[in-house]
Structure 1
Amino acid sequence: MLHGDVDGQTAMRRANLRRALQLILDAEGEETRAGIARATGLTAATASSLVAELIENRLVVDGARAASTGGKRATTLDVDPAHHLLLVLVLRRADADAALVALDGTAAHREGIAYTPAGRDAAIRDLVERVSERFGPRLLAASVQLPGATDGRIVLESVLLGWKDHPLAEQLEAALQVPVLLVNDVDAEAVAEQIAHRSDAIRRLFLHIGDGIGAAITVDGELTPGAPARVGEIGHVQVVFGDEAVACRCGQRGCLESAASAPAMLGEDFREGMDPDAFAGLVARADPGRLAHGAVALGRVVQLLGAMLDPDEIVIGGAAAGLGEDFLERVRAETRHAPRGTVAASLRAATPGIGAHVGAAQLALISALGVRWNAERFA
């Protein structure tokens, strides 16, 4: 809607529309047409014209009257939460969640499904068809968050889902009739962390520990992709050797996931997105030896990645964030003595309470409209 190949004049118009919409998003109901003119340096007439187009496209609505500054009280502006929706589909090993997210960041609808490997594709197709039938005219874009490497269009490889070179975006676009963006689950979680704990001028290494293990890097608030779209695929790097190495689901032995994934440390009853009370029960019953073994393996990888990437901070998310400070301290103990010539980065748990759909929704919003939410939208 605000993107696409256009001529120079139209491109400038669209850029100004994005600037105006971002200002309205950031102000959370306090922005005015006059404020947009001041912030952008555009004339009042141009600012009013931009707002009129945003309203016509059902992206923005007029709000209440602003506080008086001595003259006629201006009308405030906010994003329109009642029309356009972003579909976020979060795929996991045994289940999936769908969230329909309005432009103000609220989830207008949620539903989940469970599946077996044999029935997964049909279950996902049925879910997408239900969403399309109910919300199709309101859909702006969709993003699919999944465990594995993707270039945004194709699932290059997902060990957990058993897909390789799978054209998922094309398949879902046929059903939804809107653009579909595929997103690695760790990238999405790193984006959500950036929303919740915004620090633009830093390099952050984010690690997710769940059914699998992956990493993502954000620099100055933006994801850093790799040339073949496989940054952070660290779960099947061998880090345990000899008699301590156990078989991994990928067919190798001693992989990081075989020692430090949530199932390896907590048992096979673990599921991504499981009920918090059930997760707490798994943690309470966990074998301390398995937790310690996982922390050592994870610490080795963290130390190596820290030396290579020189991040300002390292953030551990997913299930590991719920294992408590004792687990994190064990990981820190492995990294405390940094290799000569390097400095150990600070290590902390991910910010709690962020919705599982938030990062992928942010990426869908950026892809569709070129704007983004701030943390206050999800406070």
Structure 2
Amino acid sequence: MLNGDDALDTQASVRRANLRRALQLVFRNPGSETRAGIARATGLTAATASSLVAELIDLQLIVDGEQAASTGGKRATTLSIAAEHHVILVLVIRPTDARIALVALDGTEVETRRVAFSDESRDRMLDDAVSDVAAEYSGRLLVAGVQLPGTTDGRRVFESVQLGWTDVPLAERFEAVLGIPVLLVNDVDAEAIAEAAREDESSGYRLFIHIGTGIGAAVTLDGELAPGPRDRAGEIGHVQVEFGEEARTCRCGRQGCLESASSMTAMLGDDFDDAMDDEAIAALAAAADDERLAEGARALARTIKLIAAVLDAAEVVIGGPARALGDRFLPLVQAEVDYTATGTTNVPVRYADSDASISTGVAQVALSSALGVRWSPAQLRAASAVRD
């Protein structure tokens, strides 16, 4: 909506850039930002700032709020994020189910749904679910973000071992139904973005590792995703890390892959499913074989140690369903990583923030794509409090 080609220094592109600047200030300080504050922060005239605000109100992106505290003259009117009209569609696709969330512009979830399917019914069930949303939220949908396991350029699914997809034009397919822009996001990238977005400051490299039925990684630098030039960064699940008698056959057909030792399926058995809740996973973990967990921790630690040494990572964060393993797993990983290889320094390993919504990361990517703005950490925390 506010994003476009700003390469040409035209009046329209300058106006669009200023609209984004003004909108970002409201997103950063909802309920306290004012027209005068926008003028001061941007260096624009008061008349121009007021004109920008008027346009953003007309677009139903912001609203007038309470009056600000008096500073001696007429009290200014504060500005807030409009949460009553536009919604972001978030679709999180997993091997056996999908979670749908409608997210308001203030970051709160307006509605959530779950769709279960088999390999045979997946396409039909997803298309039907997307069609239902399009009908129910007609005129309110701003943009859609689709999170999935696998490699993507934001438009096509290059390859997803877990979903059995190769070269699928998924964004185009959903756009034909929804009539709005659709952006595809790798699931691990989305989790890493969500983790960074909730922090006021994030410095250095962070290695984020998702462990579920599959394993993937993402790297952020100073809170920003550090993608590769070929959209393949973080695909570590099928790299061989075990050899000889230790190597097990992986579902990809090779032996000794990280996923064959450290995925939740490898450690907990075939009863594990990504759609399980934490309580069900904890029950499986309680019955898990100690040696399987130890083997998974060793293989993961080898991978962490090498990547962290290359990056000089500030920390490593483990996300996904593996968080439900709790103290049965994390101390094993920490113990295996806790040695100082010559020339390196030890890196802390922790679980991801358990309060982050599954929709946060992909919703943030979709918001930035459509409007060129971000939620503040305070805004995300407030949205989380509303959800809970």
User: Which of the five TM-score ranges fits, normalised by the shorter chain?
Assistant: over 0.9
| Cα offset, 1:326, TM superposition | 4.7
Q: Is the 8 A contact 1:303 1:338 kept in 2?
A: no
Structure-to-structure mapping, 1:111-150, within 5 angstroms: 111-150=113-152
CA distance in 2, matches of 1:146, 1:5: 28
Q: Is the 8 A contact 1:132 1:175 kept in 2?
A: yes
Structure-to-structure mapping, 1:91-170, within 5 angstroms: 91-170=93-172
| Cα offset, 1:188, TM superposition | 0.1
| Cα offset, 1:11, TM superposition | 1.4
Q: Is the 8 A contact 1:87 1:98 kept in 2?
A: yes
Structure 1 stretch displaced more, 94-103 or 235-244: 235-244
Give the number of equivalent residue pairs. 379
Q: Does 1:307 align with 2:294?
A: no
| Cα offset, 1:319, TM superposition | 2.1
Q: Select which of 362, 374, 382 maps to 1:372.
A: 374
SS of the residue 2:147 aligns to:
strand
Q: Select which of 38, 41, 44 maps to 1:42.
A: 44
Q: Does 1:222 align with 2:224?
A: yes
* 1:241 alignment partner AA: F
CA distance in 1, matches of 2:106, 2:337: 41
SS of the residue 1:306 aligns to:
helix
Report what 1:79 is aligned to. 81
CA distance in 1, matches of 2:196, 2:245: 40
Structure-to-structure mapping, 1:199-278, within 5 angstroms: 199-278=201-280
Query: Deviation digits for residues 302-322 of structure 1, max 9, x if unmatched?
Result: 011112221111111112222
Query: Deviation digits for residues 315-345 of structure 1, max 9, x if unmatched?
Result: 1111222222452221122222233222222
SS of the residue 1:226 aligns to:
coil
SS of the residue 2:298 aligns to:
helix
CA distance in 1, matches of 2:351, 2:272: 19
SS of the residue 2:137 aligns to:
helix
Structure 1 stretch displaced more, 99-108 or 303-312: 303-312
| Cα offset, 1:68, TM superposition | 1.6
| Cα offset, 1:250, TM superposition | 1.0
CA distance in 1, matches of 2:88, 2:333: 37
Report what 1:192 is aligned to. 194
Report what 1:175 is aligned to. 177
Report what 1:5 is aligned to. 5
| Cα offset, 1:243, TM superposition | 2.1
| Cα offset, 1:287, TM superposition | 1.5
SS of the residue 2:184 aligns to:
strand
Query: Deviation digits for residues 71-90 of structure 1, max 9, x if unmatched?
Result: 11111111110111111100
CA distance in 2, matches of 1:21, 1:255: 46
SS of the residue 2:242 aligns to:
coil
* Residue ranges of structure 1 left out of the alignment (5+ in a row): none
* Residue ranges of structure 2 left out of the alignment (5+ in a row): 382-388
* 2:325 alignment partner AA: L
* 2:4 alignment partner AA: G
| Cα offset, 1:198, TM superposition | 4.0
* 2:237 alignment partner AA: G
CA distance in 2, matches of 1:337, 1:275: 34
CA distance in 2, matches of 1:143, 1:272: 20
| Cα offset, 1:227, TM superposition | 1.4
Report what 1:88 is aligned to. 90
* 2:129 alignment partner AA: L
Structure-to-structure mapping, 1:21-36, within 5 angstroms: 21-36=23-38
* 1:54 alignment partner AA: L
SS of the residue 1:191 aligns to:
helix
Q: Is the 8 A contact 1:303 1:334 kept in 2?
A: no
Q: Is the 8 A contact 2:20 2:371 kept in 1?
A: yes
Q: Select which of 276, 291, 296 maps to 1:294.
A: 296
Report what 1:279 is aligned to. 281
CA distance in 2, matches of 1:198, 1:352: 17
* TM-score using structure 1 length: 0.97
Q: Is the 8 A contact 2:131 2:178 kept in 1?
A: yes
Q: Does 1:340 align with 2:342?
A: yes
Report what 1:355 is aligned to. 357
* 2:219 alignment partner AA: I
* 1:96 alignment partner AA: A
